Structure 1
Amino acid sequence: MNIRLIFLCLMLSLFLLVQASPVQAQGGIDVTDDKATLTFPESVTFRATLTAPARIETVILEYGAEQQTCGEVVAKAFPQFTPAARVSVEWTWDMRQSGSLPPGATLWWRWHVTDADGQEYTTPTQTVLWLDDVHDWQTISGDGVNLHYYFGGQDFARELHQAAVEALNRLKQDVGVQPEKAVEIYIYASSSDMRSAVLYEPGWAGGQAYPEHNIVIIGIAPEELDWGKRTEAHELTHVLVGHRTFSCLGSLPTWLNEGLAMYGEGGLEAYQQTLLDQAIAEDTLISLRALTGGFSEEGTRANLSYAQSYSVVNFLIRQYGKTKMDAFLTRLSQGQTTDEALQAVYGFDQDGLEDAWRQAIGARSRAGGAQPTPRPTPTMVPTIAPISGVPVAVAKSPTPLPTLARPTATPGTAPTASHAPTASPTASVSPFPLDKSTVTLISILAACCLVALLAIGLPIFFALRRRRRRAS
């Protein structure tokens, strides 16, 4: 009697385990017209027609852009619809509210559906290239660079592509940084064309790097080819260094970020060198700690900041080599402060670096023991469009660009494409990225293990019980 009771309890446990496991409904969900319609650069509208075995109760749009982040970030929106077994849904991502993405970014989306029976479905992830259809884009690829252009002809584009490749080789040889994958460079026919492709771009911007997207955009007129080559190398360096030092724990000092970018250009122009020499002679150099945050917006001081940053970076590379520069960047990517990373690699902090650099260039000693100043987070620095016939003297100061703010969109208030204004979604992180099929598989495997245990254990149990009876 006891044996039968034990056996029945084990079988009941197995039955309950299998019944508790989530099982995906037969037939799944039918998805048609799943597409994204771009209104570049203002918005993108996601649409789909969904058919399920039972009445569809909720639909959640999960979407975002492929980029370098600190974790898996999923934005969610809640389109409005009337529950039914077949529904058509749409939702518009308004870049004018959330902040613009760079041309060439890859957008992705999928739909998460729940029906009246409690079954959940997730559609396959789709992608679309965030780019205008106005220009006839052509591409030259190779050696770590995909250069996209629509004007100027192949010779013009090949010259820019070759300049980008040379900049990559110089950075690899001297600094030790190289692209993990091909960098996407979009060349516009003018600065105004470029600015029209990105919302909220400063009116003086001529180029912009987006390290998290691996993208560079520049407006280059044919008569500005020399300026364009330098700008291309400058922004390309920002992308490579941004990837190399990506960290959720800290940020680069501006003197290092911009100094490396100036190094990527190939060095200072004549007027910048003159400005630096004058500051050395007149003892008007800016303290290195003052260059850890944003540069001045005053033209002369801004240009001196860039020239001085290049000089410091050039000193580190020439004096100590690329191996130590690579180690320095590695420690920064691991979250160490600038002083900690410098001390570990070079044996001095920023004050010690400034002292050694001043001695190397023949400048006067640093005045007093300058106290560290608070370091604001540097923002992306667009490159200034050139003014014909005049050296660039306008400050290339960091200008805050709009970030992708995503307030919560809730059912009943999140608008669809037919409602205005469009609410921005919430960025939410999924702590357990297991779908229902994975959970079901795990449950089935657990049930199989239990059955195997019963198949092996029960015969042994009965055999031992018979032996005990015979012995008694």
Structure 2
Amino acid sequence: MHPTLRMHIYKNRYAFAKFFLSLALSCTLLLSITSLMLAKSGVARDAITITSQTQQVHFPDSIDFSLTVNDAGGKITQATLYIQAPSLNGDEVHVVTVAKPGTSVHLAWHEDMQKADDFFSPGTPISYHWEIEDNAGADHTGTTQKFDVNDQRFAWQETDVQQFQIKYYNSDGAEVQSLRAGVDKAVKRLTSNLGGAPTKPITLWIYKDTNAFKSALPPNTEEWVGGIAFPDIRQGMFVVEDAQDNTLIRDMPHEMSHLVLHELTDGGVVDIPRWLDEGLAVYNQEYHEGELSYQLRQGLKNHQILRLSGIEDRFPSDSNQAYLAYAQSWDLVTYMYNTFGQAKMHTLIKDMGNSSYPNFDEDLKASLGMDEAHLENAWRLSQHQSSILTPDQEKQDPQPTKQVVTSSSSNPVPYSTLLLVLGIFLLASPGVAFASYFIYRRQVRIQQERKLAIAQAQRILDEAHWGPGPQSFTPIDPYAHYTNPGRYTQPAPPPAQPGNMLPPFPPPGASHPGAGEQFGSFTNEE
């Protein structure tokens, strides 16, 4: 190997070794600093420990949260309680300031459930955790605790019918059997009318008297409410005083209808209009009190039927207007079943449970062939009420428009994703560098071996043709094309030794030596 080439290789080896040694030292230093920082942070965090955390429900008044915490590195100054529940819009946050900071403190929070926004009905799942801070700058987050709100005033018992869990108290065997039979009958009716049955557990709380039931309702609930459903937590409540109570065939199937309908439409992109939700619930009742029919007749007679747009979100608080809203919603739903048939109503409910259409109007047009305005107008005309559409609007033939769901490519990449990519790059960089170095070394070795092989091949050819000895030659390019004529022509004769110079060909006028003649030296005579 040529000395210059060898020196160049040695220099490259030294440079690469120096580079990787510097890289290794830098990584080691960085990891050491990071470990020290994490260790220091860990010590600060571990200095705070929670020795106990409890909650006690006093339904329907309050919930008491308590916490005992110790600190080996400072004095506790503040704690923050985070409460999560399905009925809350985000976390409910309460800051508890320590009046006298110390290394061991007991903290408490009293949650007043008689406030409308802080009320949790029976069966509500609640989770919470504490975050503690001290005067040394340390903080600690406690583990998440979970519990379900229970009306502990009564000794509840349970029985199951299909997916419904019935909670009751102070009921004999006959009453329990009536409850079970009523639930089973209601499930069959709901499955037929709504086109499906629940697939997840639903809890029904059965109170024995009206006063107990009303005390379990959220604050500011209307007085005329005889049952209530909470679809977001899959819970329902109503009163059944005895086995012959009409609530078994009125309130119970009514509230069950809300719960089943919301499960069947879970996953849809639009809210169920209140008039449709309540209209279906009344339609699914087995018993209808005369007051409903009376209010409907009066509203039709006096042309005081409520517009659907006014009862989309909520019903009136006035009992008479509320009765009218229930009555006309029931009558409208009955009109829909009679006009379009049960199969199309099943399709409507199914459409509300998927995201193919962007709003309720589109669901109606896809399943029934008309939007809400045309549906309301057709029903009003069938009841001899005034039209709410102009003649031109009545002639319109609305067609459904499917929602096209597109993914936005303009969303910024999350910061955590960028950090993850950067971390992977930093971890992979040493491996890539080492791999590059070894690939480079292999290429250098291959080039050296190739040059050595060429030199050896040329030397063998020269020795075979001229005999051993130092020769001056031009290496043959091993990658030259095979048609190179220089590869296949006879090489020129070697130069003669001094004093025995022969021209390559006889000079002009000289004869060519014949066969068997010896070649002697040729000199010109003076």
* Alpha-carbon distance in 2 for matches of 1:183, 1:6: 67
* Among candidates 327, 340, 348, match of residue 325 of structure 1: 348
Aligned to 1:341: 363
The equivalent residue for 1:382 is none
CA distance in 2, matches of 1:136, 1:370: 60
Are the counterparts in 1 of residues 348 and 368 from structure 2 also a CA contact under 8 Å?
no
Residue 225 of structure 1: aligned partner: 245
Instruction: Show the counterpart of 1:429.
Output: none
Amino acid at match of 1:80: T
User: Is residue 25 from structure 1 mapped to residue 42 from structure 2 by the alignment?
Assistant: yes
The residue number in structure 1 matching 2:375 is 353
1:385-430, Cα deviation, whole Å (9 max, x unpaired) = xxxxxxxxxxxxxxxxxxxxxxxxxxxxxxxxxxxxxxxxxxxxxx
How much has 1:262 moved relative to structure 2? Answer: 0.7
Judging changes above 3 Å, is the alpha-carbon distance between structure 1 residues 131 and 227 closer, same or farther for their aligned structure 2 residues? Answer: same
Q: Residues 158-203 of structure 1, C-alpha deviation per residue, up to 9 Å, x if partnerless?
A: 3223323332332222213543521121122212112223451444
Counterpart mapping for 1:2-401 below 5 A: 2-11=15-24, 12-13=26-27, 15-16=29-30, 19-20=33-34, 25=42, 28=46, 30-51=49-70, 54-55=73-74, 59-65=79-85, 67=86, 73-81=90-98, 86-97=104-115, 98-113=117-132, 121-200=140-219, 201-222=221-242, 225-245=245-265, 250-266=270-286, 268-273=288-293, 275-276=295-296, 285-297=305-317, 299-318=319-338, 319-320=340-341, 321=343, 322-330=345-353, 336-358=358-380, 362-364=382-384, 366-369=386-389
Whether the 8 Å contact between 1:164 and 1:229 is mirrored in structure 2 is: no
Structure 1 residue 59: Cα displacement: 3.6
Give the Å deviation of 1:9: 4.9
Bigger shift: 122-131 or 198-207? 198-207
Q: Equivalents in 2 of 1:461, 1:120: separation in Å?
A: 51
Secondary structure of the residue aligned to 1:124 is coil
Deviations 1:274-305 (A, max 9, x none): 55466667766444444435444555543333
| Structure-2 change in CA distance of 1:172 and 1:456 (3 Å) | farther
Per-residue CA deviation, residues 142-164 of structure 1 (Å, 9 max, x unaligned), is: 31111112223243233223323
Question: Hey, what's the Cα distance between the residues in 2 that align with 1:307 and 1:275?
Answer: 7
Does the CA-based 8 Å contact 2:239-2:247 persist in structure 1?
A: no
**What is the rounded CA distance, in whole Å, between the counterparts of 1:92 and 1:193 in structure 2?**
24
Confirm or deny: 8 A CA contact 2:377 2:387 kept in the other structure.
Answer: no
> In structure 2, how many angstroms separate the alpha carbons of the residues matched to 1:111 and 1:442?
33
Structure-2 change in CA distance of 1:68 and 1:350 (3 Å):
same
Q: Is the 8 A contact 1:177 1:326 kept in 2?
A: no
CA separation of 1:76/1:464 partners in 2, compared to 1, >3 Å: closer, same or farther? farther
The one-letter code sitting in structure 2 at the alignment partner of 1:89 is L
Q: Once the 2 structures are TM-superposed, how far is the Cα of residue 244 of structure 1 from its aligned partner?
A: 4.3
Q: Which amino acid aligns with 1:460?
A: I
Closer/same/farther in 2, CA of residues 157 and 451 from structure 1, 3 Å limit? farther
Which whole-Å deviations, capped at 9, do the CAs of 1:196-226 have from their partners, x for residues lacking one? 2345144443322112222112233227721
Shift of residue 450, structure 1, vs aligned partner: 4.9
Q: Which moved more, 1:141-150 or 1:273-282?
A: 273-282
Q: Could you tell me which amino acid in structure 2 is paired with residue 93 of structure 1?
A: E
C-alpha distance in structure 2 between counterparts of 1:180 and 1:344, whole Å:
26
Tell me: CA distance 1:160–1:277, structure 2 relative to 1, closer, same or farther (3 Å). same
3-state SS in 1 of match to 2:96: coil
Q: Distance in 1 between matches of 2:152 and 2:167?
A: 13
CA distance in 2, matches of 1:334, 1:4: 63
User: Aligned in 2, Cα 1:52/1:3: closer, same or farther, shift over 3 Å?
Assistant: farther
Provide the rounded CA distance (Å) in 2 between the counterparts of 1:188 and 1:5.
82
1:71-93 residue CA offsets vs partner (Å, 9 max, x unmatched): xx333322223555544332222
User: Where does structure 1 lack aligned partners over 5 or more consecutive residues?
Assistant: 373-431
**Alignment gaps of 5+ in structure 2:** 1-13, 394-413, 453-526
CA distance in 2, matches of 1:116, 1:460: 56
Contact 2:264 2:349 in 1 (8 A): no
* Partners of 1:115 and 1:460 in 2: CA distance: 55
After superposition, the Cα gap between the structure-2 partners of 1:314 and 1:33, relative to the gap in structure 1 and judged at 3 Å, is same
Counterpart of 1:304 in 2: which secondary structure? helix
AA partner of residue 329 (structure 1): M
Root-mean-square deviation (Å): 4.3
Counterpart-to-counterpart distance in 1, 2:383 and 2:148: 51
Distance 1:17 1:77, change over 3 A: farther
What CA distance in whole angstroms lies between the structure 2 residues aligned with 1:89 and 1:433? 36
Q: C-alpha displacement at 1:365, in angstroms?
A: 5.9
Larger Rg: 2
Give, as a single letter, the amino acid of the residue that structure 1 aligns with 2:23.
L
Residues 209 and 216, structure 1, Cα contact 8 Å, conserved in 2: yes
Given that 2:194 and 2:349 are in contact with CA atoms closer than 8 Å, whether structure 1 keeps it comes out as: yes
Aligned to 1:460: 439
TM-score by length of 2: 0.64
Counterpart AA for 2:438? P
Q: Would the alpha carbon gap of residues 276 and 99 (structure 1) be closer, same or farther in structure 2, given more than 3 Å must change? A: same
> Would you say how many aligned residue pairs link Structure 1 and Structure 2?
405
Change (3 A) 1:125 1:301: closer
Query: How high is the TM-score relative to the length of structure 1?
Result: 0.70
